[in-house]
Structure 1
Amino acid sequence: MTDNSPFPPAPRLEPIRIGPVTVATPVALAPMTGVTDMPFRTLVRRFGSGLNVTEMIASQAMIRETRQSIQKAEWHPSEDPVSMQLVGCDPVSMGEAAKLNEDRGAAIIDINFGCPVRKVTNGFAGSALMRDIPLATQLMKATIAAVSVPVTVKMRMGWDHASLNAPELARIAQDLGAAMVTVHGRTRNQMYKGSADWAFVRRVKDAVSIPVIVNGDVCGIGDAATALERSGADGLMIGRGAYGRPWLLGQIMDWLEGREVRPDPSLPDQFALVTEHYRAMLDHYGGDTGVKMARKHLGWYTKGLKGSADFRNKVNFIDDADKVLASLREFYLPLFDDSRKAAAA
């Protein structure tokens, strides 16, 4: 029998156990500041995700219970079990913030050793900690000791190509009791340039016995197949590939589970989805902030569609929520007619 599937054969991935949490199909949504808030994560979970991770939450802000940190820590029951990610450089604060997040319902605490953004690394947090293994060790030890839920760690390959120490940091994490590590296949100095080195992640996988997740540049099923083959990882974490495509993780899960892969939603369904997402952001952030926070999502959803550049140039300067919704209708409705004509031809 000939296999006519347009996709490569799927590897057989075992469920991942993170302490008492079992992730049946290990496809996780990456933590992305300003992107993976509750409205977006809820949509992703509807289409399918093995695990959702919140936006990065600063440990000091969590302790002070700032409005922004509380928003980032909010999660929907449909996401359960949810992983909450913390970033910081003070062991005591990290432990205290981890306990607060556990109390807020986190099933997993994730430690960020991967953020490359300068304002984070200048504060000796995120990927800067890959240059200070003793401090990174103290942070992990304090966090793990503070909570009863499992702790995981997300990292890069290293600070730069002269210090690719992810295997060393992963071994330390495992020895301290961390339940899983995720590796983005770039150094901090690469930021998001170049291509993710999925093959390097195999060095981390060979160094530890806990689950290892590969992250970086997984934008489709073909990427997922290659990343898993080169890395030998136990699962995938999807970040920027899901911009404007909250259905992507579900499609990859279909492939891994041997089901027929669902197509992208139709344009009418995408319009309904964008509208729902937009309204959810207004509810989550309030009108003024919600309108501004949603602009990038509108750009990602519409990218590549006819007239999208003109739409973005227009909608990015509209501050009235109702006028944005009207602009969305004006943009999408003519596309429905075009798609119907193409289908009838």
Structure 2
Amino acid sequence: MYFHIGPYKIEHPVMLAPMAGVTDRPYRQLCKQLGASYAVGEMLSCDLSLLKTAKTRFRMNHEGEPGPIAVQIAGSDPKAMADAARHNVSNGAQIIDINMGCPQKKVARKRCGSALMAYPEQIKAICEAVVDAVTVPVTLKTRLGTDSHHLNIERIAQDAESAGIAALFVHGRTQRQKYTGKADYGLIKTVKQQLNIPVIANGDIDSPNKARHVLNETGCDGLMVGRAAQGNPWIFSQIHTYLMSGEKISRPTTAQIMTTLYQHVLNLHQFYGVARGCRMAKKHIKWFSAQLPAEFRFRELLTLDEGRAQLQFIEQHLLSQVA
């Protein structure tokens, strides 16, 4: 069930969706190790004046990450997007992804992300500019439209393919929905039938059964898992195994979850530095804890503000109980 994005072979259809503040390099590496076939980096602004900020430097760090290195950029000006694409390719990006799916207000206010769905001519211009600017594949992540009365994904998808976009990722919601309601896969199916490039479905894919249903319903080449992977990187191998064989593999044991959490917290400390890594680790601790039996969900761990204390707590109070 493999497909290609440009020259890059995607070994199986289960992919990690980009999520700002979540899919940093340590988490992308973890998800790939545990079964994700592909992962896209956190959204980067096309404003190159932000290159000196710590947040941007961390988001542009791909050192040691297995390829293909996919970088997502966001903006509304075709020239600025083209410049950002060139810069990221010079920094190691092997695939450029254009963000037209983010529904957040702070992004929409700048007419970026899914707010661009209201301006199909501008989308076409951005796609053409970015494709012309780089020699690597360019992909597009989008939604169905701005709201239920303006569902223009079919036109945008066709324009994107004509512009040279190499693959299309479609979240089955509108901008107005954000993450409420249910994803609608009907239009994704229509888009897949109309295009010759790979189409990947996104939205509400949270189990092996749901993954098979979405693939069967849409006929898509791949699936992107987003929120369901938060604290649950095992979902990629669970879905992949089920799609290949129909087998449902067991959930990770408490020991496996705790060992993985410990190593991930340590990796965050090493990547960001102990102080920043300690802060970044708290949301991951909360998400991973949701996978654990109730007796292992120690709230005290979320109150610790020193990196070594985080690791010692896991070692002493958690790992020792499941060794």
TM range (shorter): over 0.9
2:301 to 312, 315, 324: 315
1:326 counterpart residue number: 312
Counterpart Cα distance in 1 of 2:317 and 2:146: 43
How many pairs align?
323
- Separation in structure 1 between the aligned mates of residue 95 and residue 49 of structure 2, nearest angstrom: 16
The Cα of 1:204 is off from its aligned counterpart by 1.4
CA positional deviation for 1:272: 1.3
Cα distance, 1:206 vs. partner? 2.2
Pick one of 82, 86, 109 that aligns with 2:69: 82
Question: Which of the residues 168, 180, 183 maps onto 1:181?
Answer: 168
Displacement of 1:61 after TM fit?
A: 4.3
Q: Distance in 2 between matches of 1:82 and 1:163?
A: 33
Q: Secondary structure, in 3 states, of the residue corresponding to 2:43?
A: strand
| 1:105-131 C-alpha deviation (Å, 9 max, x unpaired) | 222100000000100001110001001
Matches within 5 A, 1:211-222: 211-222=198-209
Q: Give the structure 1 partner of residue 234 of structure 2.
A: 247
Distance 1:155 1:302 in 2: 31
Percent of aligned pairs with the same amino acid: 36
Which residues in structure 2 correspond to 1:19-98 (within 5 Å)? 19-61=6-48, 64-98=51-85
Give the deviation of 1:263 after TM superposition.
2.7
How large is the RMSD of aligned CA atoms in angstroms?
Answer: 2.0
1:204-233, Cα deviation, whole Å (9 max, x unpaired)? 112212111000111110110111112121
CA 1:304 to 1:275, structure 2 compared with 1: closer, same or farther past 3 Å?
Answer: closer
Do 1:153 and 1:182's aligned partners in 2 also have CA atoms closer than 8 Å?
A: yes
| TM, length-normalised to structure 1 | 0.88
Which AA in structure 1 matches 2:34?
Answer: F
**Number of the residue aligned with 2:135:** 148
Cα distance in 2 for residues equivalent to 1:308 and 1:285: 30
Matched to 1:64, the amino acid is: L
1:306/1:62 CA distance change after superposition, 3 Å: farther
2:118 aligned with 1:165: no
Distance 2:304 2:44 in 1: 29
Name the SS of the counterpart of 2:223 in structure 1: strand
**Corresponding residue number in structure 2 for 1:8:** none
Q: Which residue of 2 aligns with 1:257?
A: 244
Please give the secondary structure, in 1, of the residue aligned with 2:9.
strand
Query: Residue 76 of structure 2: SS of its match in structure 1?
Result: coil
Summarize deviations over 1:148-189 as a string: whole Å, max 9, x none: 001000001111001111111010000000011010011111
Given the two structures, how large is their TM-score scaled by the length of structure 2? 0.94
Structure 1 partner of 2:221: 234
Cα gap change, 1:62 to 1:136, in 2 (>3 Å): farther
Report the CA distance shift for 1:52/1:142 in structure 2 as closer, same or farther (over 3 A): same
Give the distance between the partners of 2:295 and 2:49, measured in 1 at CA: 38
CA contact 1:63–1:93 (8 Å) conserved in 2: no
Question: Does structure 2 conserve the Cα–Cα contact (< 8 Å) formed by 1:31 and 1:56?
Answer: yes
Check whether the contact 2:51–2:57 (CA below 8 A) recurs between aligned residues: no
Measured after TM superposition, the shift of residue 250 of structure 1 is 2.0
**Greater displacement, 130-139 / 177-186:** 130-139
Q: Distance in 2 between matches of 1:180 and 1:85?
A: 13
* SS of equivalent to 1:33: coil
What SS does structure 2 have at the residue aligned with 1:268?
helix
Cross-structure match for 1:125: 112
Unaligned runs of 5+ residues in structure 1 are 1-12, 338-345
Question: 1:205 matched to which residue of 2?
Answer: 192
